[in-house]
Structure 1
Amino acid sequence: MTDIGSKKDQVLKALARIITAQEEAIIAANAKDLAAYKGGDESMFDRLKTGPEKVRGMAEACLQTAALPDPVGRELYRFDHPNGMRVVNQTVPFGKILIIYESRPDVTIEAAATAFKAGNRIWLKGGKEALNTNLLLAEFWQEALAAHDVGPGFVNYLQLDRGATQQLIRENPHRFDLIIPRGGERLINFVREHSQIPVIVSGRGNNFLYVSAAADYGMALSIIRNGKSRISVCNALDKVLIDRSWEGLEGKLQQLLGDLSAAGLEVVADEAGWAGAHPAVQPVPESVYYEEFLSHKIVLKVVGSMAEAIAMINKYSGGHSASIVSDDEQEARSFLEGADCAAVYHNASTRFTDGGQLGMGAEIAISTQKLHARGPVSTGQLVSNKWMVYGNGQVR
């Protein structure tokens, strides 16, 4: 692979300048995609729409990634062998990465920026919904690469239909080293079934929040509302579990139903264990607790203890994010240790599960698996490692 170590940050900064200068062109291309979209999915439309704020976010992601330390060549282990050999284990790029995603044009910038900073070559397969925006952003990538004499092959955009994409996954003609499917379970299952390539799964959200008996009402309400501030993202909040021992439970439950409904949410209260009557109170089938809503819907449920809440999170959630609202530090620590999610929060919103928000710059995905990476996947997670052994004729 061509050594691009000294040029990576220059390319990313150049790309940020191009994106900033071409804001109007990006928004115009995106307007074509929005006009062509005939689906009625509000969440999909939200992911697709690219306004000034998202354009500025793309440029900022490039600059943040450029400012990060180079993840390649970092020494992980050193051993001086008794026979005189010097043994070093260090980070190296994965090599070739394929990412398949839908509707979000900013992934074309952020995913490629993350892979490029880590020295990888990336193939981008975006959804047809964002074709005009993606093709323009891919052109900007090539402009930035060319400006610093970096080969065009580091960022490749694939314009393929579903059948051709499936053939690409099955046959792997480019000899990809890693696939990242960012889509529905059907895509993820197809990749797992038909490819022998290592996979990082950017899985579903379905995030939970537990309101402890030691919770402040105002804080709980603020965090819940923020968790639904965007419905199309994987770090959105879907389920709220409320401890039965919360002081003044019935009054707080009625107030919470009113406040969340007033915020424009479709509130469903599970009648099992609920205190008091309200039109939102109804039976909630177990299947609903497995669902990621990607809508304004939110489910509230009263539980008997933190242990019950943790058990529900570990059974039903997508393993993405979970939060506890509590003034009890020891209780919160037990929750953070017990909830089996990639990111766990005490008195904070699940909406912070994002590479940029956690100080990692751009992200390529949020992994809900435990190997090779977990949580936001940024430059530091898009490397492998290699053993380099230096000798002067040693034999065994």
Structure 2
Amino acid sequence: MNTLLSLATRNNVLLTMAEFLDIEREAIISINKKDLNAYKGDDISMLDRLKVDDAKVDEMIAAAKHLASQEDPIGVERFSFKHDNGMQVYNKTASFGTILIIYESRPDVTVEAAGIAFKSGNKILLKGGKESLKSNLKIVELWHQALQQHNAATNWVEYLQFNRTETQAFLEKPTQKVDLIVPRGGERLIAFVKKHATCPVIISGRGNNFVFVHKAADVAIAIDIIINGKSKISACNAVDKVLIDESLPNKKEFINQLISKLTAAKIKVLGDEKIAENHQLEQISSNEIWFEEFLDYKIVIGEIASNVAAIAMINKYAGGHSSVIITKNEEEAKFFMENVDTAAVYHNASTRFTDGGQLGLGGELAISTDKLHQRGPIGLQHLVTNKWYVHGNGQIR
């Protein structure tokens, strides 16, 4: 068992990690090129997430430094109570213990997610994808050097070099205690982990986000938000579906403008029956497509009768991640935001802001579409459980 490191030690390890990332910048980028060259798949979003350049290293450094500057999430008092018999009762935040993060492609997760887990007093087991193995091992080597420099055990950050069969065996019968598993990646990965895991799992990473253009929308805002929602197709906060109020004034003109902007951005546009017929678009083959997360240069536009119908459609088909209403009507926005069942709801703003850094958390371990124990971006202050501290002087019941 790893004894909780002092806050000073945890912060110093993070600051040293930031230094090492800068010193080893060229080496990281050149090792990452080997991973990129070896990737033979055809998943463009995977390739996008795999790449490490100067900007990505700068982000990793910023994440480590920012984590070091944040307050300790451990031991925060959440509740206190003085018992009639004189006992003093506190409820305080506590680390989970050991967290396993299973992720695909992204070497930056090896810094940011591990850093969040480490700062919140947890031991981290990292299981990255084979496509980013060389990059990940280099970054873990830096973690170990930073830990050693501050006399901390290197097993605070451990890399599991497992294939699929070995991962399954570990999930079903862990060779060490695991308290929480966070899979970050596609639906196949999440289903695999849920099927085999023997401890709690936080589901993260599925998007399939919707924008509803209400009849009282500012159409210029609507176009900007939809285009921005497709600016990074590999992100789970990308937009895949657009619902347009059938009572929108100048609807045909707006849809034509939207289609031409999307087409110019090389996004393939599909329509439901009405939209496809009225705007010479390819029609969706079945309603099943409304369930799909694309992670691709593709979007579906449909017509909808009302705010109530839009909410019902989103609650049926969306991934539980993010949804938007574009409207100048505050009451309609409030009704939408209260009734749509997604982790983040937006009024006249882009889904691309569903991100720990953008929502003021400084970074994120993952974006949870589960309702327990934390929904949406999981930041430093959420990667904790709690513990009861009871002080007495001989009380018995």
TM range (shorter): over 0.9
Q: With structure 2 as the length reference, what TM-score do the two structures score?
A: 0.97
Q: Deviations over 1:244-284 (max 9, x none)?
A: 11111111111211121112111112123x39633315244
Counterpart in the other structure of 2:330:
329
> Structure 1 pair 86/156, CA: closer, same or farther in 2 (3 Å)?
same
Q: Conserved in 1, the CA contact under 8 Å of 2:225 and 2:350?
A: yes
Counterpart in the other structure of 2:100:
98
Residues of 2 paired with 1:243 and 1:275: CA distance?
15
Which of 223, 226, 236 is equivalent to 1:224?
226
* Partner AA of 2:343 in structure 1: A
* Partner AA of 1:207 in structure 2: N
Residues of 1 paired with 2:67 and 2:161: CA distance?
26
Where in structure 2 are the equivalents of 1:159-308 lying within 5 Å? 159-272=161-274, 274=275, 277-308=278-309
Q: Conserved in 2, the CA contact under 8 Å of 1:271 and 1:284?
A: no
Q: Tell me, what secondary structure is at the counterpart of 1:386?
A: strand
Q: Conserved in 2, the CA contact under 8 Å of 1:91 and 1:383?
A: yes
Counterpart in the other structure of 1:344:
345
Q: Conserved in 2, the CA contact under 8 Å of 1:228 and 1:296?
A: yes
Q: Shift in Å at residue 39 of structure 1?
A: 0.9
Counterpart in the other structure of 1:121:
123
CA RMSD of aligned residues (A): 1.3
Residues of 2 paired with 1:323 and 1:228: CA distance?
14
Q: Shift in Å at residue 190 of structure 1?
A: 2.9
Which of 50, 53, 72 is equivalent to 2:52?
50
Q: Shift in Å at residue 36 of structure 1?
A: 0.3
Residues of 2 paired with 1:229 and 1:334: CA distance?
28
* Partner AA of 1:107 in structure 2: V
Q: Deviations over 1:314-368 (max 9, x none)?
A: 0001100111111111211111111100011111110111111111122111100
Q: Conserved in 2, the CA contact under 8 Å of 1:4 and 1:119?
A: no
Q: Deviations over 1:157-211 (max 9, x none)?
A: 1111111111110101111011111123333223223222011111410000111
Q: Tell me, what secondary structure is at the counterpart of 2:7?
A: coil
Residues of 2 paired with 1:245 and 1:9: CA distance?
55
Counterpart in the other structure of 1:389:
390
Which of 35, 38, 41 is equivalent to 2:37?
35
Moved more, 382-391 or 327-336: 327-336
* Partner AA of 2:303 in structure 1: V
Residues of 1 paired with 2:160 and 2:272: CA distance?
45
Q: Deviations over 1:208-260 (max 9, x none)?
A: 01111111121111111110101111111100111111111111111211121
Moved more, 189-198 or 378-387: 189-198
Counting aligned pairs with the same residue, the percent is 53
Residues of 2 paired with 1:257 and 1:324: CA distance?
19
Q: Tell me, what secondary structure is at the counterpart of 1:7?
A: helix
Q: Deviations over 1:84-109 (max 9, x none)?
A: 10011100000001111111111101
Residues of 2 paired with 1:280 and 1:339: CA distance?
28
Q: Shift in Å at residue 5 of structure 1?
A: 2.0
Counterpart in the other structure of 1:143:
145
Moved more, 50-59 or 314-323: 50-59
Aligned length: 395
Q: Deviations over 1:100-149 (max 9, x none)?
A: 11111111011100101100000000000001100110011111112222
* Partner AA of 2:290 in structure 1: Y
Q: Tell me, what secondary structure is at the counterpart of 1:35?
A: helix
Counterpart in the other structure of 1:315:
316
Q: Conserved in 1, the CA contact under 8 Å of 2:270 and 2:284?
A: no
Q: Tell me, what secondary structure is at the counterpart of 2:36?
A: helix
Q: With structure 1 as the length reference, what TM-score do the two structures score?
A: 0.97
Q: Conserved in 1, the CA contact under 8 Å of 2:211 and 2:241?
A: yes
Q: Conserved in 1, the CA contact under 8 Å of 2:45 and 2:296?
A: yes
* Partner AA of 1:9 in structure 2: N
Moved more, 149-158 or 177-186: 177-186
Counterpart in the other structure of 1:11:
13
Q: Structure 2, unaligned stretches of length 5 or more?
A: none
Q: Are 1:132 and 2:114 matched, yes or no?
A: no
> Structure 1 pair 297/130, CA: closer, same or farther in 2 (3 Å)?
same
Q: Structure 1, unaligned stretches of length 5 or more?
A: none
* Partner AA of 2:178 in structure 1: F
Q: Tell me, what secondary structure is at the counterpart of 1:225?
A: helix
Q: Are 1:21 and 2:23 matched, yes or no?
A: yes
Counterpart in the other structure of 1:374:
375
Residues of 2 paired with 1:266 and 1:312: CA distance?
22
Residues of 1 paired with 2:367 and 2:55: CA distance?
22
Q: Tell me, what secondary structure is at the counterpart of 2:78?
A: strand
Q: Conserved in 2, the CA contact under 8 Å of 1:203 and 1:318?
A: no
Q: Conserved in 1, the CA contact under 8 Å of 2:46 and 2:105?
A: yes
Residues of 2 paired with 1:346 and 1:69: CA distance?
31
Counterpart in the other structure of 1:82:
84
